[in-house]
Amino acid sequence: MVATPGTGQLEQAVRLVDEVLGPDHVGSYLHGSAVLAGLRPASDVDILTLAARSLDDAQRRALVAGIMPLSGVRVGARPLELTIVVQSDVRPWRYPPICDFLYGEWLRAEYEAGMVPPREPIATVCLELAVALAADHALAGPPPVLVLDPVPTADLARASVAGIPSLLADLAWDRRNVLLTLARSWFTVATGTIASKDGAADWALARLPEAHRPVLEHARELYLTSGYVDEEWSDELSARVPAHVDEVLRRIQELTPPA
């Protein structure tokens, strides 16, 4: 059984970050589902860390080695997602943000094969920064507003659209989360704000034609009630997925200014 995430897992993760980064650990902040609407049965625990300088190879390896025993159903815990950004990369603000380090449980096989998380631009880190700022939930260090610049609304929309191609590439094996994240992208482009996955689904369902609602309704129900299990989709619902995706993409495109 997956343990309810709480202070134990968070404390261990933040302690690890502090030990590896030492005086370069500016602060760590909770974001994601935990602060948007509460953790759901299959939610990750999301941590954003601000560092004073870029990590070296030894630090990257130490973080991966230290997080793996704390993360995922195989160790009876929720998956951890740790994003590290260097303060000078995001303050003063510029787009796209540079992600200095990323641990995500979906990459475990790559880590086990020796992959070291690289430093690279990742547009969707905009969303993580914005949620961390809005939530104001410091796990270590000063309040985020004192160490981070605000993310412009236009860049939240840009980041939501930029993440769509890689999102759609996961549709075959992660249908529930892809459909919900796509609804959230539509919500962000339309409103300039960020909602929980189920909150964005509620918003989208109120705006979709009847024919396109069942797919998202099912994804939302799975999200609210199912844990880390294989998704169950009827043949009828599966057949409706492509048309649903096309409809949501069309709605996003209508709201997206030309490049």
Task: Indicate the Cα dihedral angle 198, 163, 21, 87, nearest 10°.
Answer: -100
pLDDT at 140 over 80: yes
**87: closest CA among 112, 60, 53, 120?**
53
Exposed / middle / buried, residue 201 (Cβ in 10 Å: 0-12, 13-18, 19+):
buried
CA distance 24 to 55: 9
Residue range 183-241, pLDDT digits in tens = 999 999 999 999 999 999 999 999 999 999 999 999 999 999 887 666 789 999 999 99
pTM: 0.91
7-150 under CATH 3.30.460, yes or no: yes
> What percent of the chain is predicted at pLDDT more than 70?
95
- What rounded mean pLDDT belongs to the chain? 92
8 Å CB contact between 117 and 141:
no
CB atoms < 10 A from the CB of 82, how many?
25
Residue range 13-57, pLDDT digits in tens = 999 999 999 999 999 999 988 898 888 887 889 999 999 999 999
Residue range 164-188, pLDDT digits in tens = 999 999 998 889 999 999 999 999 9
Segments of the chain assigned to CATH 3.30.460:
7-150
User: Residue 177 has which token pair?
Assistant: 């989360």
pLDDT at 117 over 50: yes
* Catalytic machinery residues: 81
**Strand partners of residue 98:** 121
DSSP 8-state code for residue 121: E
Amino acid at 41: P
pLDDT at 4 over 60: no
